[in-house]
Amino acid sequence: MPAERLQKIIAAAGVASRRKAEELITAGRVVVNGNVVTELGSKADPEHDHIRVDGKLLHGSQRPVYLLLNKPKGFVTTMSDPERRPTVMDLVRGVGSRVYPVGRLDYASEGLLLLTNDGDLAHRLMKAASHVAKTYVVKVSGKPAEEKLVRLRAGLSIGTDQQKRVKTSPARIRLVRDAPNPWYEITLIEGRNRQIRRMFEEIGHHVEKIRRVRYGPLELDVEPGKFRLLTLQEIAKLKSLSQTGSPLVRSHRSLSS
């Protein structure tokens, strides 16, 4: 087998996502044939080289697993939590392989979450996050005026965790349930932390509930707290979308039309 980048080998073995594998390498936690490796460009042959991560020997690639989970409110999208809150990993026990969430939903949000041990696909999807359409249904406190929704559709400036201001990309927004506290369907082609909440806060409205119902070709179709395996067709579509030059780049433009 030809030599491959270490982070790709580690991700394929199901030890960590590709991004996390890069952090493990630069932190000096990866050893190849007895030598600590810290350069991200380093390569190895998984069939002939002895590769250890935190002292544990890799045993080759695991069978790839792809899951669609309906995350309930009150779970964090991490492998573990220092505050000992329940994590999404508590909901996928018994899968037989260690999987990792692709992207995240915050503690108070719910809905569709993709998990996999395919570190290469996870890396490409997160790298291409601004091209993967994500659809949410959102309950808002108070009914925004139409001119405020126009601002959301066009993109507006919001704050970030780094205390900076960034402009959001165009979003598709439509009313799905009219009420004093209405529900909207919102489609984004980016995924900044707490983005929807911050968008509505910027126009003076609090978001009461958020549920993600679509992620690229995937649709939410399981009960809260439950998960299912992706179909071969869904996996193929996800891999296609993760490639450079994905057709979803065109959907980015269509959101503002």
155-169 pLDDT tens trace: 999 998 888 999 999
Task: Report DSSP letters for 113-178, one per residue.
Answer: EEEES-HHHHHHHHHTGGGS-EEEEEEESS---HHHHHHHHH--EEE-TTS-EEEPPP-EEEEEE-
Q: Which of helix, strand or coil describes residue 249?
A: helix
Task: Enter the pTM of the model.
Answer: 0.75
Cβ partners under 8 Å of residue 48, min gap 6: 1
CA atoms of 222 and 115, how far apart (whole Å)? 14
pLDDT grade for 245, boundaries at 50, 70 and 90 = very low
Kindly report, residue by residue over 11-69, the tens digit of the pLDDT. 888 788 888 999 999 999 999 988 999 999 899 987 778 899 998 888 766 678 999 99
Topology of domain 4-57 in CATH is: 3.10.290
Q: Count Cβ atoms within 10 A of the Cβ of residue 143 and give its class: 0-12 exposed, 13-18 middle, 19 or more buried.
A: middle
CA-based radius of gyration for the chain: 20
Which residue, 217, 173, 178, 215, is CA-closest to 196?
173
Handedness of CA 147, 152, 156, 159 (dihedral sign): positive
Query: What tens digit of pLDDT does each residue of 205-231 get?
Result: 999 999 999 999 999 999 999 999 999
What b/e string do you get for 228-246 counting C-beta neighbours within 10 Å, with b at 16 or more?
eebeeebbeebeebbeeeb
Q: Average of pLDDT values for 193-212?
A: 95
The mean predicted confidence, pLDDT, of the chain is: 88
pLDDT for residue 253:
45
CATH architecture label of 66-130+217-254: 2-Layer Sandwich (3.30)
The stretch 90-106 carries a mean pLDDT of 87
Domain boundaries defined on the chain = 4-57, 66-130+217-254, 134-215
Give pLDDT, residue 248: 38
Average pLDDT over residues 84-102: 89
Q: Do domains 4-57 and 134-215 have the same CATH topology?
A: no
Q: Which residues are catalytic?
A: 106
First CA to last CA distance, the chain: 48
Does domain 134-215 correspond to CATH entry 1.10.3720.10? no
How many angstroms separate the CA atoms of 181 and 40, rounded? 50
